[in-house]
């Protein structure tokens, strides 16, 4: 066959296929310009145009800022508006209720101080976490957690009385100190229960511990001071459970009622004029908040930060759109999932939102 200088038409059409014009609202990809002296806020603003998970973080910042800025006065007065919400002053002061959820390892990490900041300054309306997310806060008031390594030998650590959480180490003596601190409080709580006949709930239990710790380094001290409810459906799943178990032999009879707490959480959700979720990690803390949102036909704003994948069908890995199908996030509302380790991105999110000066 004689050689030809003509490009095969099929190959040319496949490679050089013309594009449709981009719409006017399309945003081009562009990274930060370090030729300029960028502030932290300018750097974080640039994330919106980097792409991939940086783009998701940029959207999460926008969603959280919308949670923060919303007021009922932004909305027209409905014909059937309750009388208590007719006052312009009341409407201007009615905010979006922010429900914060996080897993226990994040309190073990340095995110504890960021969560403390949010609670101290009343940036959240309610918290849902796990048992470790409660006890590790109090334990840190009694002894330090240390940086270590993911690759330390578990058997060797066990011999030395060292407990590993990822690349962190908690000496087991800290848990012994926790028992010494908690046991007399449990005795007092049991005595009060017998005297008054009123049983404890996980949230009232945590509130009492926040009062007893009396330490400004504690997240739950500030939750107690600021009357922010902390819900922990799995209160016994950790060292707290161990201490309650031991106490049931020494001084039996303490009752913790989860029924009243589910009512309290669901009612807080139902009565919220606007509700937002910020959930770090998965499991109980993620679904308990999302399920409470179902009571009001879904959250208005939702930010998930976790590394979970959806291919195994887990709720932890599920994207926001799955929650829309259940009525846990409102269709058409503002939602985003950031696929990332929360210790990497949550400090940036807070820096660009709650910690940012409104001036």
Residue-wise pLDDT tens digits, 320-330: 999 999 999 99
What is the end-to-end Cα distance of the chain in Å, rounded? Answer: 76
- Token output for 323: 């929650």
Predicted local confidence at residue 2, as pLDDT: 64
Tokens 């490679």 correspond to 15
Q: Looking at residues 92-105, what average pLDDT do you find?
A: 97
Mean pLDDT of the chain: 96
Residue 359's pLDDT band, with cuts at 50, 70 and 90, is very low
Residue 22's pLDDT band, with cuts at 50, 70 and 90, is very high
Question: What distance in Å separates the CA atoms of residue 267 and residue 273, rounded to the nearest whole number?
Answer: 12
Q: Could you report the per-residue pLDDT of 112-152, keeping only the tens digit for each?
A: 999 999 999 999 999 999 999 999 999 999 999 999 999 99
CB 35 within 8 A of CB 56: no
Predicted local confidence at residue 357, as pLDDT: 65
Q: Looking at residues 286-302, what average pLDDT do you find?
A: 98
Radius of gyration, CA atoms only, the chain: 25
- Token output for 218: 């504690």
Q: Looking at residues 218-230, what average pLDDT do you find?
A: 98
How many CA atoms are closer than 13 Å to the CA of 30, on its beta-carbon side? 9
Can you give 12-62 as a three-state secondary structure string?
A: HHHHCCCCCCCCCCCCCCCCCCCCCCCCHHHHHHHHHHCCHHHHHHHHHHH
Find the DSSP H helices in the chain.
Answer: 9-15, 40-46, 52-69, 88-93, 104-108, 111-120, 131-142, 154-160, 173-196, 202-213, 219-225, 239-250, 258-270, 284-294, 320-326, 342-351
Q: Looking at residues 9-34, what average pLDDT do you find?
A: 93
Number of Cβ atoms within 10 Å of the Cβ of 258: 15
Residue 53 makes CB contacts below 8 A (sequence gap 6+) with 338, 339, 340, 345
Which range is least confidently modeled, 4-13, 41-50, 58-67? 4-13
Predicted local confidence at residue 61, as pLDDT: 98
Phi-psi bin for 259: left (phi > 0), alpha (psi -120 to 50), beta? alpha
Residue 5's pLDDT band, with cuts at 50, 70 and 90, is confident
Predicted local confidence at residue 4, as pLDDT: 74
pTM, rounded to two decimals: 0.95
CB 222 within 8 A of CB 116: yes
- Is the pLDDT at 356 greater than 90? The verdict is no
Residue 1's pLDDT band, with cuts at 50, 70 and 90, is low
Q: Looking at residues 296-319, what average pLDDT do you find?
A: 96
- Is the pLDDT at 8 greater than 90? The verdict is no
- Is the pLDDT at 358 greater than 90? The verdict is no
Question: What distance in Å separates the CA atoms of residue 33 and residue 46, rounded to the nearest whole number?
Answer: 9
Question: What distance in Å separates the CA atoms of residue 97 and residue 300, rounded to the nearest whole number?
Answer: 10
CB 156 within 8 A of CB 177: no
Q: Could you report the per-residue pLDDT of 274-290, keeping only the tens digit for each?
A: 999 999 999 999 999 99
- Token output for 213: 């710790």
Catalytic site residues?
A: 328
Residue 8 makes CB contacts below 8 A (sequence gap 6+) with none
């Amino acid at each position: 066959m004689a050689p030809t200088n003509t490009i095969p038409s099929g190959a040319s059409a496949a490679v050089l296929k013309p594009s449709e014009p981009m719409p006017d609202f399309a945003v081009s990809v562009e990274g930060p310009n370090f030729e300029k002296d960028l502030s932290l806020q300018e750097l974080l603003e640039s994330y919106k145009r980097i792409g991939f998970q940086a783009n998701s973080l940029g959207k999460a910042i926008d969603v959280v800022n919308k949670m923060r800025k919303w007021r009922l006065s932004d909305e027209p007065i409905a014909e059937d508006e309750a009388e208590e919400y007719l006052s312009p002053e009341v409407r201007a002061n009615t905010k979006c209720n922010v429900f914060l959820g996080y897993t226990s390892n994040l309190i073990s990490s340095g995110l504890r101080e960021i969560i403390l900041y949010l609670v101290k300054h009343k940036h959240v309306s309610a918290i849902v976490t796990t048992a470790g997310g409660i006890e590790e806060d109090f334990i840190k008031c009694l002894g330090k957690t240390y940086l270590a390594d993911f690759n330390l030998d578990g058997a060797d650590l066990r011999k030395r009385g060292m407990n590993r959480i990822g690349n962190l180490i908690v000496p087991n003596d800290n848990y012994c100190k926790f028992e010494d601190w908690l046991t007399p409080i449990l005795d007092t709580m049991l005595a009060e229960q017998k005297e008054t006949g009123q049983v404890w709930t996980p949230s009232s239990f945590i509130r009492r511990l926040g009062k007893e710790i009396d330490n400004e380094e504690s997240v739950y001290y500030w939750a107690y001071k600021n009357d922010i409810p902390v819900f922990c459906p799995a209160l016994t799943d950790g060292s707290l459970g161990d201490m309650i178990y031991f106490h049931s032999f020494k001084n039996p009879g303490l009752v913790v009622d989860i029924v009243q707490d589910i009512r309290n959480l669901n009612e807080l959700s139902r009565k919220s004029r606007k509700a937002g979720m910020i959930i770090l990690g998965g499991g109980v803390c993620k679904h308990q908040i999302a399920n409470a949102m179902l009571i009001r036909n879904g959250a208005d704003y939702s930010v998930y930060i976790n590394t979970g994948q959806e291919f195994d069908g887990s709720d932890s890995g599920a994207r926001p759109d799955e929650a829309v199908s259940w009525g846990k996030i409102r269709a058409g509302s503002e939602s985003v999932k950031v696929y990332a380790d929360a210790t990497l991105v949550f400090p940036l999110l807070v820096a660009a939102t709650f910690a940012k000066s409104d001036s």
